[in-house]
Amino acid sequence: MSDTTHRESIRIPVTGMTCSACQARVQSALARQPGVDDASVNLMMESAAVTFDPAVTNPHALVSAVRNTGYGAELPAGDLSPLAEQEARDLSQREELRAMTRKALVSVAAGVLAMLLPMMLPMHTPALPFVLLALSATVMLWAGRHFYVHAWQALRHHSADMDTLIAAGTGAAFLYSLVATFAPGFFVAHGVAPNLYYEAVIVIIALVLTGNVFEARAKRSTSAALRALVELQPATARVVRGEAVVEVPVSSVIAGDVMLVRPGERIPVDGEVISGSSAVDESMLTGESLPVEKGAGDRVIGATVNRTGAFHYRATTLGADSTLARIVRLMRDAQSSRAPVQALADRVSEIFVPVVICLSIATFATWFVALHVGGASPGTATVRAFAAAVAVLIIACPCAMGLAVPTAVMVATGRGAASGILIKGGEALQRTGDVSTVVLDKTGTITEGAPAVSDVLLAPGARRGTDALLELVSSLEAQSAHPLADAIVRHAKAKGLAKQNIQSNEYLVGRGAIGTVDGVALVVGNAALMRDRGVSTAALDDRASALAHEGKTIVFVAADGALAGMLAIADPIRATSRTAIDRLRAMGLAVVMLTGDDQRTADAIASAAGVDRVVAGVLPEGKVAEIARLQREGAIVAMVGDGVNDAPALAQADIGIAMGGGSAIATEAADVVLMRSDLDAAVQSILLSRRTMRTMRQNLFWAFIYNVIGIPVAAGALYPAFGLLLSPVLASAAMAFSSVSVVANSLRLRRANLS
């Protein structure tokens, strides 16, 4: 973006939205505020994410814009951590659900009573209509009040939603019955039986409310994964203060505090182990089922469970920056994001309600004329036409359409998190599902990413032994930051070798190092460096080539101008990589490996890992160019990397998948963050996305087909042929069922088997 003006973002909690039409209304109200760049309202999360220009507008104006549409909004509590915010939302959702359940139960009881009363009382009891009137008025005003309030608010803004349909349907039935109660003579005079629809009004409200309750419960379980994460947060920590260990609330721990964790306890905050060792169960965050060994210097994550030993550790990141808070925030943002497929559902549900009202009016007129022309009295014609028109209003429910996509996004992101896969929202889900080519970084993705010296060979006739050689080389490499140098130094340290004095040193990017150690002139590096320095590697070339074919990287060592030996460094392929790559190919995906290694080593790793295409010798910039080239060929590319040095490549790819998760750069650049270092998690993320897209398509199909079939049936399309007509009461049951079935279909994703 060339626009450099300052922008701010805010998340405003919005209450009272019940369907996608409400959401569309709040969203367009916000979008048309001056200074608002972007507004996205999420029905499921009951919040609006707004990006605005603070020079033009402010959060107060945005909140009142929402309130003007008739919905509740409040300024977000600024200092709440994502965890506390989530807890607060849970509490209010629970209370809302409880109130809704109570209303539904009372309405159902009233409905049963209203149906039984006319059967139990003697015919034409004069008081009966008034008893039913009182009953239905109570249900309408108490339990169904919000339908009418919302419908009215929507009407004032020239829009209509599903509450409008319910309000219009039940309102029409109620008014009709009201006239029949107080002025039966008026009907009789026109040859119409003064029929009462009170019980229909009550039963419709009861059924819709019952449907809402089921829907709200199901919606709650779609965010169960997020709630489970929040609940992981421990309440107290044992902090070492001087000699004593005191238990304090987690919120009062500060960075640098030293803490004690005993076996079986939950690790309170993120930190670094100082002393002691243990096995830590990180499965709740990473999906990794085996406990991870931790010793001094290792990082531990808050909310994971310490299994075997006690240890002391120092707190590092806290509060909103902690790993758990970051995951919760990422998931919450993901769950409130919108998938592009939603656009269709949005557009339909916007024009849907007015169209249904027109259809209902047309239904009444058609039925009336048809019956009347067919010889029925105006009275009979009115009653039948009226029932059909009300059934059309009631059965048409844009609700299932509004739920089809967001529920699937919520369940899928939750399901992913349970396996240590964090997907950043609906758009990422949709694109991940469409991926055609998977590009894998070699180091740290296919391989362990921890290179280790596997062979040390001496040149024929060399004067030094292997240990002496290693001692020299590791002394020279000790000051280099290169991973291969690191591997050599670790190897020497593990063998207990001493360090020698360095007289001079120079490190050559992409080639190796030269210097003088303990009076010996050393050249350590690849074949090209040896050639440059006039050192013949002929004596070891055969062995070098054989080792390179095993996928090992060769480092030659020359001492005082003559070849002294060589080291082979292996970065072993992860145990799970081969099967994961096979699965990717079985899923019909092209797999490409990118690496900075030379062709021989790369080919060897690729064939061991089962990769069919290798691009060797690429620098980090080269990775971006290679991905861009694949994209020009029409591939939808997912790039899997460890996120450390391939952030540009992750960003270039259509989908960036960062492994070994949690690092800030990785979470920033990637669309999918894998909490465990396992290529199989990448496979699972693609599989999950494909399943989710399938679920969304099913949901949309069922939501549409339901209306396509339901409305004509309610209007009486099947009557001429089969004599089939839907009563308003049946229509309301069908409507409740459609929403519940869509949510239930999304919930099936929770049990998706990804292995």
List 362, 494, 546, 587, residue binding other proteins (CB under 8 A): 362
Whether residue 511 contacts residue 558, with contact meaning beta carbons closer than 8 Å, is answered with: no
Contact between 361 and other proteins per CB under 8 A: yes
CB of 371 to other proteins, least distance (A): 10
Contact between 343 and other proteins per CB under 8 A: yes
> For residue 534, which of 503, 565, 558 has the smallest C-alpha distance?
558
Cα–Cα distance measured from residue 345 to residue 703, given in angstroms and rounded to the nearest whole number: 9
- Which of residues 116 and 369 has its CB atom nearest to other proteins in the complex? 369
List 290, 373, 708, 721, residue binding other proteins (CB under 8 A): 373
- Which of residues 357 and 731 has its CB atom nearest to other proteins in the complex? 357
Contact between 119 and other proteins per CB under 8 A: no
List 22, 24, 196, 602, residue binding other proteins (CB under 8 A): 24
CB of 86 to other proteins, least distance (A): 25
CB of 7 to other proteins, least distance (A): 15
- SS3 state at 270: coil
List 67, 220, 314, 372, residue binding other proteins (CB under 8 A): 372
> For residue 261, which of 217, 213, 309 has the smallest C-alpha distance?
309
Structural element, H or E, at residue 53 = none
Contact between 1 and other proteins per CB under 8 A: no
- Residue-wise burial string across 413-423, b where 16 or more C-beta atoms lie within 10 A, e elsewhere: bbbbbbbbbbb
Which phi and psi (to 5°) does residue 124 adopt? 55, 35
User: What mask, x for binding other proteins by CB under 8 A, covers residues 478 to 517?
Assistant: ----------------------------------------
Cα–Cα distance measured from residue 567 to residue 457, given in angstroms and rounded to the nearest whole number: 6
Burial of 236 (0-12, 13-18, 19+ CB in 10 A): middle
How many CB atoms lie under 10 A from the CB of residue 274?
Answer: 14
Whether residue 66 contacts residue 24, with contact meaning beta carbons closer than 8 Å, is answered with: no
- SS3 state at 138: helix
Cα–Cα distance measured from residue 415 to residue 424, given in angstroms and rounded to the nearest whole number: 13
List 228, 369, 450, 494, residue binding other proteins (CB under 8 A): 369
Considering only residues 141-200, where is the footprint of other proteins by CB under 8 A?
A: 157-160
List 52, 71, 198, 364, residue binding other proteins (CB under 8 A): 364
Contact between 698 and other proteins per CB under 8 A: no
Binding segment toward other proteins, per CB under 8 A, in 275-283, 289-297, 340-348, 657-665: 340-348
- The residue from 161, 281, 441, 680 that is catalytic is 441
- Which of residues 358 and 562 has its CB atom nearest to other proteins in the complex? 358
CB of 343 to other proteins, least distance (A): 7
Alpha helices in 659-727 (DSSP H): 664-669, 679-715, 719-722
> Considering Cα of 177, then 183, then 186, then 188, what sign does the dihedral take?
positive
Q: Is 321 a catalytic residue?
A: no
- Which of residues 150 and 583 has its CB atom nearest to other proteins in the complex? 150
CB of 73 to other proteins, least distance (A): 17
Binding segment toward other proteins, per CB under 8 A, in 119-127, 372-380, 561-569, 684-692: 372-380
Contact between 358 and other proteins per CB under 8 A: yes
Q: Compute CA distances 579 → 171, 283, 422, 574, 680, whole Å.
A: 62, 21, 22, 10, 8
- Which of residues 157 and 463 has its CB atom nearest to other proteins in the complex? 157
Binding segment toward other proteins, per CB under 8 A, in 289-297, 339-347, 437-445, 648-656: 339-347
CB of 437 to other proteins, least distance (A): 25
Binding segment toward other proteins, per CB under 8 A, in 256-264, 358-366, 510-518, 735-743: 358-366
Task: Name 222's bridge partners.
Answer: none
List 368, 386, 507, 706, residue binding other proteins (CB under 8 A): 368
Task: Name 10's bridge partners.
Answer: 50
List 54, 340, 510, 561, residue binding other proteins (CB under 8 A): 340
Scanning the structure block, which residue is given the tokens 């020239």?
Answer: 158
N-term to C-term CA, the chain: 41
The backbone region for 104, taken as left when phi is positive above 0, alpha when psi lies in -120 to 50, beta otherwise, is alpha
Contact between 32 and other proteins per CB under 8 A: yes
List 354, 465, 510, 561, residue binding other proteins (CB under 8 A): 354
Contact between 350 and other proteins per CB under 8 A: yes
Cα–Cα distance measured from residue 581 to residue 313, given in angstroms and rounded to the nearest whole number: 38
Cα–Cα distance measured from residue 754 to residue 289, given in angstroms and rounded to the nearest whole number: 15
Whether residue 289 contacts residue 307, with contact meaning beta carbons closer than 8 Å, is answered with: no
List 55, 183, 365, 575, residue binding other proteins (CB under 8 A): 365
Q: Binders of other proteins: how many residues, by CB under 8 A?
A: 33
Cα dihedral 12, 16, 21, 24, rounded to 10, equals -10
- Which of residues 41 and 489 has its CB atom nearest to other proteins in the complex? 41
Binding site for other proteins (CB under 8 A): 24-25, 27-28, 30-32, 38-40, 157-160, 338, 340, 343, 346, 350-351, 353-354, 357-358, 361-362, 364-365, 368-369, 372-373, 378
Active site residues: 441
